[in-house]
């Protein structure tokens, strides 16, 4: 399995003064799914985007404008086929992190 089909949105812990009524799981009672935080298997675009980001960071990019320049330099385009801008990269990273 490459993603967790049961993934629920993260909820901030709520204090509970009753012993044993928290959200701690009992060891051995819960299946440990390898990809616990994925809602779906990554698309080919997402895998390619990750590979491109690795190349850009390996080349020394640290600042946002360096990442944008690196992606454009590799010829890796947005899903729409456009060149990257700082705003578009920020929006894409926000979208993919949901």
The residue ranges of every structural domain in the chain are 44-96
The least confident of 24-33, 61-70, 78-87 is 24-33
Element (H, E) at 89: helix 86-96
d(CA 72, CA 74): 5
Is pLDDT at 74 greater than 60 in this prediction? yes
pTM: 0.65
């Amino acid at each position: 399995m490459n993603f967790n089909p049961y993934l629920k949105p993260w909820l901030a812990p709520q204090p509970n003064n009753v012993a044993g009524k928290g959200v701690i799981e009992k060891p051995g009672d819960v299946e440990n799914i390898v990809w616990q935080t994925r809602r779906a298997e990554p698309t080919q675009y997402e895998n390619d985007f990750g590979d491109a980001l690795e190349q850009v960071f390996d080349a020394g990019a640290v600042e946002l404008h360096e990442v944008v320049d690196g992606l454009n330099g590799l010829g890796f385009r947005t899903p729409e086929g456009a060149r990257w801008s700082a705003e578009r990269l920020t929006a894409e990273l926000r979208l993919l992190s949901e």
